[in-house]
Amino acid sequence: MAGINGTGPRTAEAGALQVENLSKVFKTRTGAIRAVQGVSFRVAPGEVLAFLGPNGAGKTTTIKMTAGLVRPDAGDVRVGGVSLYARHDAVTAQLGAVLEGSRNLYWRLTVRENLEYWGAMRRMPIRAARRRADELLELVGLADRARNTVQTLSRGMQQKVALCQALMHRPHVLLLDEPTLGLDFESGEGIKRVVRQLAQEGTAVLLTTHQLDVAQELSDRVAMIRGGRLVLEGATADVLTRYSQPVLTVVAATPWPTDVAARLMGLPAVVTGTDTLTVDLTDDQGSTLYRVLERLNPHPLVKIERHQADLAQVFQEVMGEAAGQIGEAASVALPAVPAREGAVTS
């Protein structure tokens, strides 16, 4: 196989996903839940956007609206500039989605029947669909289960079939709602490899996950949602830098001499272990580290490294800030609001 989607990088506009001002209120017996409130983002071809947020934040609702499965009250979804609501079939033909809990599989059909059925729905000729199904099952290591019904597969296997189904028609945009949930280590690594390769081939990927290490590894950009609203969006590397602290850790090759604290007197350095210390660069004019090193000289050192936040720390901090700003908006029942006149017309 030349590639998974086999079509090579796409032009910047053709495969781009734009989500514009999506909103959704669910009416319930006790009132209404504002699940998604004015969410906008863009995923370029070849880019992986990690869409993160706590339980009930509105991720799945956003993904379902993006896939054309839930009707928003307002807002629009565009692929290659074409509106999902103006041209539903043309746009969904460019989209592939793995939804929560592999719900779009028929449990009583075999794996191959599911994939061929999906191919037929996407107007693929039967022979092409067969070839494609074989190719994808090979890719995820399920070729030997093609003739088993989906209900006889393990949950992780079903998750992989759901991914194959989403890829049958070589979509430009891939929506993945917790694709590695419940997968064993090796299977999780396999899915990550597939996602990486798809992005390299030019697919735009929107990924939700609670595994923040997976998000950090795979994403080019990150968006965080809480209470139905986006609370952060940016390039993953920039976000990590922004949340990193101006602190250096110095590691010695052997335990510090007993007078190390006295030697560092007056400098923003704190001994944190028998062979470690941290240097606070908050008010640094450029010479702090040199001054610390002069006082440590000639003690042998092995490493000096700057603090680097990970996505888990960013997530905690952002969600803490967001809680202060907006409260638990998503889970609070609000009076129903009338659907706004928006781009949704049909």
Q: What does 75 interact with, of ligand ATP, Mg ion, none (CB < 5 to 8 A by kind)?
A: none
* Binding map of ligand ATP across residues 100-139, x = CB under 6 A, - = no contact: ----------------------------------------
CB-based contacts of 288: which residues, under 8 Å, 6+ apart? 267, 268, 279, 281
In the bound complex, what is the minimum distance in angstroms from residue 43's beta carbon to Mg ion? 18
Which residue number, 55 or 285, has a Cβ lying nearer to Mg ion? 55
Rounded Cα distance between 117 and 104, Å, is 12
Query: Could you say which residues in the range 22-61 bind ligand ATP, by CB under 6 A?
Result: 26, 28, 33, 35, 53, 55-61
- The strand pair at 269-271 and 276-280 is best described as antiparallel
Which residue number, 61 or 114, has a Cβ lying nearer to Mg ion? 61
Residues lying near Mg ion in the complex (CB under 5 A) are found at 59-60
Which residue number, 99 or 115, has a Cβ lying nearer to ligand ATP? 99
Rounded Cα distance between 112 and 134, Å, is 8
Which residue number, 169 or 226, has a Cβ lying nearer to ligand ATP? 226
**102 residue type, one letter:** S
Residue 239 token pair: 């976000």
Query: Could you say which residues in the range 288-307 bind ligand ATP, by CB under 6 A?
Result: none
Which residue number, 84 or 330, has a Cβ lying nearer to ligand ATP? 330
Among 200, 254, 316, 331, binds ligand ATP (CB under 6 A): 331
Which residue number, 55 or 287, has a Cβ lying nearer to ligand ATP? 55
Residue 20 token pair: 């514009």
Q: What does 221 interact with, of ligand ATP, Mg ion, none (CB < 5 to 8 A by kind)?
A: none
Rounded Cα distance between 135 and 167, Å, is 11
By CB under 6 A, tell whether 346 contacts ligand ATP: no
Rounded Cα distance between 55 and 207, Å, is 15
Rounded Cα distance between 19 and 253, Å, is 52
Contact 177/100 with Cβ under 8 angstroms? yes
Rounded Cα distance between 236 and 222, Å, is 6
Which residue number, 308 or 331, has a Cβ lying nearer to ligand ATP? 331
β-bridge mates for residue 49, sequence order: 206, 221
The SS3 assignment for 255 reads coil
In the bound complex, what is the minimum distance in angstroms from residue 331's beta carbon to ligand ATP? 5
Rounded Cα distance between 49 and 220, Å, is 6
Contact 208/52 with Cβ under 8 angstroms? yes
In the bound complex, what is the minimum distance in angstroms from residue 155's beta carbon to ligand ATP? 16
Size of the site for ligand ATP (CB under 6 A): 14
* Pure H helices in the chain: 59-66, 88-92, 111-121, 126-139, 155-167, 185-200, 212-218, 236-242, 260-263, 288-296, 311-326
In the bound complex, what is the minimum distance in angstroms from residue 92's beta carbon to ligand ATP? 20
Which residue number, 110 or 209, has a Cβ lying nearer to Mg ion? 209
In the bound complex, what is the minimum distance in angstroms from residue 65's beta carbon to ligand ATP? 9
Binding site residues, ligand ATP, CB under 6 A = 26, 28, 33, 35, 53, 55-61, 330-331
